[in-house]
Every structure is written in structure tokens, then in C-alpha cells.
Amino acid sequence: MKHLAFAFLAGLASALGFAPVGLWPLTILAFAALLWAIEAAPSLRSALARGWWFGVGQFVLGLNWIATAFTYQAAMPAWLGWLAVVLLSLYLAIFPAAAAGLAWRWGRKEKEALVLVLAAAWIVTEWLRGTLFTGFAWNPIGVTWVGVGGIAGLSAFVGTYGLGAVTVAAGGAIYHLILRRWAVAAGFAIPILLVAGSLQNVNVTTARAGEVRPHLRIVQPNIGQQNKWDPGYEQENFLRLARLTGPPAREPRLILWPEASTPDYLSYEPAPRRRIAALVGPDDLLLLGGVEPIFESGGRAAAAHNSVYALSRDARIRARYDKAHLVPYGEYLPMRPILSAIGLSRLAPGDLDFRAGPGPRTLDLGRFGRAGLQICYEIVFSGDVVDRSNRPDFIFNPSNDAWFGAWGPPQHLAQARLRAIEEGLPVIRATPTGISAVIDARGRLLASLPLGAAGAIDARLPRPAPPTLFARFGNILSFAFALLLVAAAVAVRRKTR
């Protein structure tokens, strides 16, 4: 029992590496502890249990913000939010348990092989977590490296899931250091440090000589979730957006509003569309979030898309993107006939379930370049954020983090930064309550607005980097890295024999 408690505490410690805490050394130490726990397990069943409890600890703490979402839904008691966090964590912990079981089964006889197999298994199980049953890819362990020297830059070569294996390897270095196996510890640590040091000096040109990059105006109105859908606040919400949009500038602006900025059906209601378009200068373009209804043959709205519209001064919708990766229970209620019968409902207000769009798309915005769109939660899915046949110049990630508590928004931002590094593309975020940001193609935070503040960011659109290796091949690279780690583990076992 004490070993299970130890694994659970190690899992809690590993979650402290995520934003907003950011104590990434604890994450490395936690994986050293997990390796010890797996090696000391007397059976496969015991190893699985230790990995499972490690996962429970990590997810319960790291996903605590989910409980806050339930406080905005009057139809459900607030305590149900914490129950949801625990139940989700019990499920998600299956994936670390599987990684621990594979490491014990194939690596326990040699300590070096144990590290290598766990690292390879972590790649596969994290990918499965982000894929099965629509996937829940939030907080891959590699995101703890964002902002830590050049280590996060490895994701441009091995992807986010490969970066998780690097985290395991770093834990393996500490594990062998504690065992006083100096050469083995150095064998894991030195390659990481050398690569990180070389990537630290990689530069991304933000503008060519004499080039004027497009002018961005990012609006953060600080409209809380409690007021967002209240009809009594509709006019006030619009006035906040209007004030922060400001008057036309001397040069064309790409104006960026958050997800679900307007409750109006812009495709079907010309008056609200003209009212919004009046805020836009003659050469400006506005990207804003809204709802696109899907009507049945009788004229009744049966469902909707969560959409982003490109709106010009003449009130024409120049382009539209429909969100593809929807949030269960947030944007649609699975098994609606059963769950609605027992009183459950979506966390986001509204009677219409959302339907998925066709997937990543690139919108041609003329003088402002080509924009890839990822609405809110979509940005967390590594390898699935751009149309690879039509590479954009940047990614726009409008979001509504107003119901994500204090931990959700900084975690969301960190994952957006990791997407920028992987794809070699700037990421622009606009949220109603924060954290709105301009992120360059190396994942650096160039400008941001904090949580709970109203304001606007005026910035130049950063240049994209040349396509990274990951941008060309995607998660195939992560799996290739996993195979390389397995091959190394096999070589270690044969050498020892």
C-alpha cells in the first residue's frame, strides 16, 4: 500500500511542472521516483497499479480547473465538478498504467532498458490518450519544458509526444544518478543538454529588411462566463468589444476577437452583421467567433457550428471556419436522450448541440496572409492543427477560457506555445478574459494580456519559420523516436546478456 501512496504522491509532484506553477524540476524527480517504483514492483499487476496511481495523482491536480467549469452551470451542483475531475482522472490514469506495465514487462531486468522502454511507451500511450474516444490531449508531459532553455525546441523534431520521452529520459538520468551509476546518468543527460544548448541559439527572423509586417489588433474584453450569455449584458458586451477595437488606424489592421464573440447568427442576420462591420476600417479585416446554425427542412435550428467569420467593412463574410474537434459535455452532450433524462446538460449554455466541421483549414486573408484556424481546445492536439497541403502563415486560436479557473488558461497558453514550436508558425490567441497573446514561431511570448484584464494588443504579425521536420512529417516522427528507443533497449539487454 505504501508503494501505491508513494506513486500517487509522485504523480501529484509531476503535475507541479505544469503551468501556472511551473516547477519542472519536480516533474523530472517524479519520473525518477516512478522508475524506482516500477523497478521495485514484484509483479506486472503491481507495476500497473503503481503507474495508475501515478496517473491519478498527476491528473487530479493538473486538471483541477475542470471543476470550475461546473460552477457556471446552474442545472448541476458544484460538487459534481470535483467528482468529474476524479472520474476523468481514474480513466486517464489507464494510459500511464499501461506505460508502466510495458516498462516492467520489457525493461525491468536492466535499469537502462527500463528507462528506454518507459520513454517509448510514454510516447505511444500519450498519443492514444489524445486519440481514443475523440481524445483528451490536455497537458502532455512534454509541455512542462515550454520556456525552459531550448529543450522544448526538440518538439520540432520529435513532436510533443517525443518530448514526453525526453522527460522520462531526464528522470532516468536522475534515477541513475541516485544509484551512483554516473556513466549511465551522463548518457541520458548529456545528449539532452547538448541538443537543448544548440537549439537555444536558433533564431527566427521576425521581419526582413524593409518589410512591414501586418498590424494586429487583439481584443480582450474581460467578459466573464457568468455574463457572456445573459441577454441583459448583450449590449454591454458589444460596447466593450467596440471600445477596445478602437477607430481605424493609418494602416490596415487584422482585428481579432475571441471565440463566440457574438450571439447573433451572422450568416442570417444582416443587421447585427452591419453593426459589427461598422467598427471595421475600409482596409481592415475582422476575425470573430460566432455560432452558425444548422437548419432542418422545416426551418428549425437542429444543431450549430462553433465558427469563426472573416468580416470586412462592407459587412460581407469573406470566409468561415467551423470547429472540428468538439468538447464532450461542453459543446455537445453524448448520449443526450439518456443523460438529459436524468437532468444533466451541457456545461456551456444553449439548447443546440454543436456539430464538427471538416478539420484544419487555411483561410486566405489577402494582404494579411494565410491563416490556420484552431478554436479553443483544438490547439492542444499535436499534429492536427494545420492543413499540411496548404500551410498557413500563422495560426489564429480564438478561445473562451473564462470558465477554466486559474489553472486552465496558463496551461492552454503553454500548449499553444508548443504548437508554435512544433509547426514553426506564430500563434495568435484572443480570449474574453485572458490569456490573449502573440507567440512567435519559436514559442516565445512576444505580447500578452493577463487573466481578468480588459485591453487590446497592438502588434506586428511575426514571420513564420521554414517548415520544421515535424511540420513535414507529423507524429510519424514521434513513433520513429519510440522505435529507436525500443531498439536501444533491445541492444542494452543483449549486451548485458
Residue 335 has pLDDT above 60, yes or no: no
Output the CA–CA distances (angstroms, integers) from residue 250 to 247, 253, 288, in the order listed.
10, 9, 22
Higher-pLDDT residue of 462 and 181 is 462
Give me the chain's average pLDDT, please. 88
**Does some domain include residue 336?**
yes
pTM equals 0.92
Q: 254 lies in which domain range?
A: 215-462
pLDDT (0 to 100) of residue 312 = 94
CA dihedral 476, 478, 479, 481 (to 10 degrees): 120
**Does some domain include residue 205?**
no
Residue 26 has pLDDT above 50, yes or no: yes
Q: Which of 259, 378, 422, 423 is catalytic?
A: 259
Q: Vertex 376, ends 374 and 377: CA angle to 5°?
A: 95
**Residue 286 CB partners (closer than 8 Å, separation 6+):** 245, 255, 256, 257, 276, 277, 279, 280, 310, 311, 312
**Does some domain include residue 469?**
no
Q: Assess whether 106 and 181 both reside in one domain.
A: yes
Higher-pLDDT residue of 94 and 183 is 94
Overall number of domains in the chain: 2
Say how far apart CA 37 and CA 46 lie, in whole Å.
9
Phi, psi (rounded to 5 degrees) for 373: -110, 135
pLDDT (0 to 100) of residue 467 = 95
**Average pLDDT of 303-315?**
92
| Cβ proximity of 461 and 216 under 8 Å | yes
Query: Active site includes 259?
Result: yes
Q: Assess whether 115 and 224 both reside in one domain.
A: no
Residue 256 has pLDDT above 80, yes or no: yes
Q: Assess whether 421 and 484 both reside in one domain.
A: no
Q: Extract the C-alpha cell encoding 497.
A: 546478456
Q: Assess whether 279 and 413 both reside in one domain.
A: yes
CATH number at residue 441: 3.60.110.10
Q: Assess whether 69 and 16 both reside in one domain.
A: yes
Residue 47 pLDDT class (50, 70, 90 cuts): very high
Q: Which of 376, 378, 422, 423 is catalytic?
A: 376
pLDDT (0 to 100) of residue 338 = 47
Q: Assess whether 35 and 72 both reside in one domain.
A: yes
pLDDT (0 to 100) of residue 142 = 96
Residue 301 pLDDT class (50, 70, 90 cuts): confident
Q: Assess whether 355 and 449 both reside in one domain.
A: yes
Residue 204 pLDDT class (50, 70, 90 cuts): low
Is the peptide bond between 476 and the residue preceding it cis, with omega within 30 degrees of 0?
A: no
**Does some domain include residue 81?**
yes
First-residue to last-residue Cα distance in the chain: 34
Higher-pLDDT residue of 20 and 205 is 20
Residue 80 pLDDT class (50, 70, 90 cuts): confident
**Does some domain include residue 207?**
no
Q: Point out the least confidently predicted range of 324-338, 354-368, 418-432.
A: 324-338
**Does some domain include residue 265?**
yes
Phi, psi (rounded to 5 degrees) for 137: -90, 10
Rg (CA), the chain: 23
**Does some domain include residue 468?**
no
DSSP assignment string, 151-220? GGGGHHHHHHHHHHHHHHHHHHHHHHHHTT-HHHHHHHHHHHHHHHHHHHT----SS-TT--PPEEEEEE
pLDDT (0 to 100) of residue 339 = 46
Q: Assess whether 486 and 448 both reside in one domain.
A: no
Residue 295 pLDDT class (50, 70, 90 cuts): confident
pLDDT (0 to 100) of residue 468 = 94
Residue 336 has pLDDT above 60, yes or no: no
Residue 30 has pLDDT above 90, yes or no: yes
pLDDT (0 to 100) of residue 342 = 45
Within the chain, what is the greatest distance between any pair of CA atoms? 78
Query: Active site includes 110?
Result: no
pLDDT (0 to 100) of residue 223 = 83
Q: Which of 39, 228, 292, 323 is catalytic?
A: 323
Q: Assess whether 123 and 248 both reside in one domain.
A: no
Residue 21 has pLDDT above 50, yes or no: yes
**Average pLDDT of 111-136?**
94
Q: Point out the least confidently predicted range of 73-87, 159-173, 250-264.
A: 73-87
| Cβ proximity of 391 and 378 under 8 Å | no
Q: Assess whether 270 and 407 both reside in one domain.
A: yes
pLDDT (0 to 100) of residue 33 = 97
Q: Point out the least confidently predicted range of 28-42, 65-79, 153-167, 371-385.
A: 65-79
Query: Active site includes 2?
Result: no
pLDDT (0 to 100) of residue 447 = 97
**Average pLDDT of 257-263?**
91
Residue 344 has pLDDT above 80, yes or no: no
Q: Assess whether 241 and 379 both reside in one domain.
A: yes
Q: Assess whether 272 and 347 both reside in one domain.
A: yes
pLDDT (0 to 100) of residue 73 = 61
